[in-house]
Amino acid sequence: MRILMIAPPGAGKGTQGALIAAHFGMPHISTGELLRDHVARQTALGQAVRKHLDRGELVPDQIVLDMLREAMVAAKAAGGGFVLDGIPRNMQQARAAYEMGRELDMTADVALHLQADDGELVRRLLARAALEHRSDDTADIIAQRLALYYEVTSPIVSWYRDRGILVSVDAMRSAQEVGREILAALEAMRPLLDHVPAQARLSIDLTGLGEAFGATGSPVGTSD
C-alpha cells in the first residue's frame, strides 16, 4: 500500500505512521525525523535547516523533495509500499510528490487525514516537550506550527478528497483506538486498490465512527 498522512502537529502521525509501516512491513518515511537526524549529526544540510526547525517554519521545498525522491526510489526497490509522514506539507509539495509518484509508478493509494482539536494538540505537544525536549515543542513555536498547518497544509486535504483517496480519521481518542480504526480501514481497502481505478473511488470519512460505537477512551500522548 502507498499511504501519505496529513495531520496537524500533535495528531499522532509519527505514532500511527510507525504502526502502519510495521503492520504492512513497509518503510515509514518521516521528513521531520530525517531532518532532525541531519541536525543531530551536524551535517551541512543539518546546519542549513536547523533554524527553520527551531522556528517552526518549513524548510525549502527542494530539500524535502530530494529526500522524498531518494526514499521513494528505495521504497520501490523494497517492494513499492510506503507510508509518508510529514510530506507533502503544502500544495507545491503535493503536486511535486504526485508527479514523482507518476514517474515512478507509485502514486499514493490513500491520503490519511488525522483530525484533532487545537486544545488537545497543544496539550499533547507540551506533554511531549517534557519528555523529548524537541526544540520546536515550546508554546510559541507550537502556535506557529499550528498556524502554518492551517495556512498551507490543510488546504491540500480537499485536493486528495477530489482525487477520491482521502480517508479522514478522528484522532481525538487514544493512540490504540485510532490505530485500530486506521488498520481496519486500510485492511478493508487493500483488496480493492488494485481493481478500482483512483478516478472511480470515493473518499471515506470515519470521523463519526468513534461516537457511533461509543468510544470513550481518553486521548493519550503521541509522537509526531
The DSSP output letter for 84 is E
Of 58 and 186, CB closest to ligand AMP: 58
Find the shortest distance in angstroms from Cβ 174 to ligand AMP. 21
In whole angstroms, the minimum distance from the beta carbon of 7 to ligand AMP comes to 9
Residue 194: CB minimum distance to ligand AMP, A: 28
Residue at shortest CB range from ligand AMP:
32
Footprint of ligand AMP on this chain (CB under 6 A)? 9, 31-32, 35, 52-53, 56-59, 64, 86-87, 89, 93, 136, 145, 224
For residues 28 and 89, which CB has a smaller minimum distance to ligand AMP in the complex? 89
Residue closer to ligand AMP, measured from CB, 86 or 210: 86
Cell output for 61: 521545498
> What element of type H or E holds 167?
strand 166-170
User: Helix crossing, 91-104 with 156-163: angle to 10°?
Assistant: 40
In angstroms, the CA 153 to CA 173 distance is 22
What type of residue sits at position 160?
Answer: Y
**Minimum CB separation from ligand AMP for residue 199, in Å?**
27
Nearer to ligand AMP, 89 or 113 (CB): 89
CB of 127 to ligand AMP, least distance (A): 15
Strand-strand pairing, 28-30 and 82-85: parallel
Hey, what's the cell of 81? 509500499
Kindly report whether the peptide bond that precedes residue 27 is cis, defined as omega within 30 degrees of 0. Answer: no
